[in-house]
Chains A and B, each alone.
Chain A
């Protein structure tokens, strides 16, 4: 599965803030443990099956190593460890989500499963304020409602910021 993206916009909500009422944003919905998370489809470069990851020494545990994607060396993070969950259990459904970060280029995230693509209207997305957030929630900046379920939306800017 390959998804090409046109605009490399990092911040879902910024985009949303500018857009008119009634506009919609597409998200890739992934599963981590029991929860669902969404990433703006614009930021996704590729989704690949789990593959051998080459470990890089002296890196924090969540930084699993690097993979080769079409000749490019891409770092891979464990989203679970990053968010303070337990270690990934690799199953057939495990995927690496390759996301474009503005500064750092492509980075892969390990997720338990890629579920679907959903289209959310502006009105279905609720912004979370930055106060009172646990480390787990600091990567989330909005929550979307879809078919009665909640989807936490990743703040990619926060993910890239944290490394610097």
Chain B
């Protein structure tokens, strides 16, 4: 997963959280009992942890995780805040700042684990005073770690060697090359194990020749290993150098190694160890004495807490080494979306003013000279590009939302025990920021739905002759002034009969009603609140609080969602969203004497229908348009407009669609297409079903925007 694109956001948000933490912890010092402050700190630490984790900055994540633990205890009242704890917390913040600076300079968090601070945090958790670490405690902490090291440390001795490999080793020994065994342990929770392993391979290969790898290099590449892998290498250099090289790769927990002697199959040298962060203190740690070994394997406790200065010095040199000439991150300014909104409003005002100027200059027969006209044209082009730039500022690719999905599907795949793969296209499609912010949850829900309910189990898939691996896809593309996002799968599809049975069982429809419903209508029942056809409730797609929420969320963004499904072949959910919420292309129409705007996005066609073609079905007016029976809606009646026109021979009918449903809106006059700025009617006017907003026309008058979805 490429996360570099989020680096800027990550840094901005980290800055924000750190500043927040600094002030809050100061507050906490003066008012240690303040629950609000504690909660706020907890939240900030939690967000930091999550962000660092997502970005793969494990050290940062570990530190914030431990901080969060402390706060969780503080919050639960187990630990009382005192000045020592505050001191430790500030050290944490400094350390986090350090990580942040490293990331800003080199896109890497550096290799400082800040073990002493983590130690102190844990000490707080264990009810100790931060500065009062008992040796016994330290030892206890050290022992399990050491035990683990031992178990892992011996591994290279147990690599099964075949004859050729033995021959190669013997040959090398004859050439006075040294044969080392290495055991590399990757940090728990490392996201790209294979990539880390690859880097280790590369680092080692610069100094040595890898002859055996367990698991095999191919398996390692395919991530088919747990947390550690073992290598046997041939080299001319010292064992410690090789270990150092391997340990310099980030997210490597430990590298242990020893010399292999085939003759008696035991190591000649006592085990040498290295931990990634302590490479600079290598001489101390590589000491062969078993006692020293135990001490050094305790996560930096003795070494670096005894001498914090050298450790931070080491950290500094490292930072320097990694700092490239230029920072990798571009500087950005984060702007409150409200400021953008007000900028947008001002631009809208300007457009309206410009429109009135244009219409004034063409209507009034003032002595318009060419220079004046030129300036108006210039003004027009400037306002248009100004508008476009402001719009662009608000547009962000949906990428920021969808890139988390492959990971989610991977996790779901494991959780559900189904093989599946997510295919995504059109991640670069751009949408208004406010829309992008809110589209994540509905999409996630639909994907989960596909993974959980959509895809069949492996056995069923095999039976149906489908590939064992289920496919889930997410396609996004722009279609006119809407953006379409499709989420689908090649799974079972929607079982209409099951939905019907469920609806009857739930009392949503009567059996008689159900019998008369079309397949489409039945599928639409899925969008009703509390409807779930999953036979088992899983924690993946929940308890039927979902599709209705998906629908209402999307509708609140002025979009719509529909589903196409074929039993046994899969289903596709199609979400349509307006490109932007602020400005739309609309058809201006006249009803009676009033002007209304209808969003172009919902208009199918414009028709001129002879009055004689209007038929009555069940006492409702319909027209037959190219084989489709379409209900007519008389806008003047619905909107309560005074009708002052004589009945014409022909009706002007705007055919609008909502999903698959069509309706014909009867209007009196067409004005034309216009780009309109959507304004809210304000809070005072609440109950107006058919009107979704208002817009200001070039002459300063207000036209209302019809919500065709509410009319159909």
Contact = CB atoms under 8 A, between A and B. Distances in A.
A35 B685 CA distance: 28
Given A66-B694, A66-B702, A71-B352, A55 B683 contact: no
Interface stretch (A1-9, A16-24, A102-110): A102-110
Interface in A56-100: 56-59, 63, 66-68, 70-75
A54 interface: yes
B691 interface: yes
Contact of A57 (B639, B701, B703): B639
Contact of B682 (A54, A71, A74): A74
B198 interface: no
A54 B345 contact: no
Given A71-B345, A71-B348, A73-B696, A57 B691 contact: yes
B689 interface: yes
A71 B353 CA distance: 10
Nearest to A63: B685
B247 interface: no
B683 A104 contact: yes
Interface string A96-125: 000001011111000000000000000000
A101 B683 CA distance: 10
Contacts, number: 75
Contacts of A103: 683
A67 B641 CA distance: 18
A59 B352 contact: no
A58 B690 contact: yes
A105 B682 contact: yes
B685 A58 contact: no
Contacts of B704: 54, 56-57, 66
Nearest to A75: B684
B685 A59 contact: yes
B681 A73 contact: yes
Given A71-B349, A73-B679, A54 B685 contact: no
A163 interface: yes
A150 to B, nearest CB: 29
A74 B685 CA distance: 9
B388 interface: no
Contacts of B691: 56-57
B701 A52 contact: yes
Contact of A56 (B352, B680, B688): B688
B557 to A, nearest CB: 21
B640 interface: yes
A58 B379 CA distance: 40
Contacts of B680: 73
B700 interface: yes
Interface string B545-573: 00000000000000000000000000000
B188 interface: no
Nearest to B353: A71
A106 B679 CA distance: 14
A106 B352 CA distance: 21
Interface string B339-350: 000000100110
Nearest to A70: B349
B681 A68 contact: no
Contact of A75 (B345, B640, B679, B682): B682
Q: Which of A66, A72, A101, A160 has the most CB of B within 10 A?
A: A66
B498 to A, nearest CB: 40
Contact of B696 (A55, A59, A71, A163): A71
Contacts of A163: 684, 686
B700 A68 contact: yes
A68 B702 contact: yes
Interface string B628-672: 000000000011110000000000000000000000000000000
B682 A58 contact: no
A59 B700 CA distance: 22
A68 B694 CA distance: 10
Q: Which of B594, B681, B687, B702 has the most CB of A within 10 A?
A: B702
Nearest to B639: A57
A58 to B, nearest CB: 6
Given A68-B702, A71-B348, A73-B679, A54 B684 contact: no
A143 B378 CA distance: 57
Interface string A11-38: 0000000000000000000000000000
Contacts of B638: 57
B592 to A, nearest CB: 10
A106 B684 CA distance: 9
A15 to B, nearest CB: 23
Q: Which of A55, A59, A105, A163 has the most CB of B within 10 A?
A: A55
B688 A58 contact: yes
Nearest to B592: A55
Contact of B685 (A56, A67, A68, A106): A56
B249 to A, nearest CB: 58
Contact of A58 (B594, B640, B703): B640
A107 to B, nearest CB: 5
Contacts of B685: 56, 59, 63, 66, 75
A164 to B, nearest CB: 8
Top-3 shortest CB links A-B:
A54-B702, A57-B639, A104-B684
26 contacts: A52-B701, A54-B594, A54-B694, A54-B701, A55-B594, A56-B685, A57-B640, A57-B688, A58-B640, A58-B689, A63-B685, A66-B694, A66-B704, A68-B700, A68-B701, A71-B348, A71-B349, A71-B352, A71-B696, A72-B679, A73-B694, A75-B682, A75-B685, A104-B682, A107-B682, A107-B684
Interface of A: 52, 54-59, 63, 66-68, 70-75, 101, 103-107, 160, 163
Given A56-B681, A57-B688, 18 more contacts: A54-B594, A54-B694, A55-B594, A57-B638, A57-B690, A58-B640, A58-B689, A59-B685, A63-B685, A68-B701, A72-B679, A73-B681, A74-B682, A75-B681, A101-B684, A103-B683, A105-B683, A106-B682
Interface of B: 345, 348-349, 352, 594, 638-641, 679-691, 694, 696, 700-704
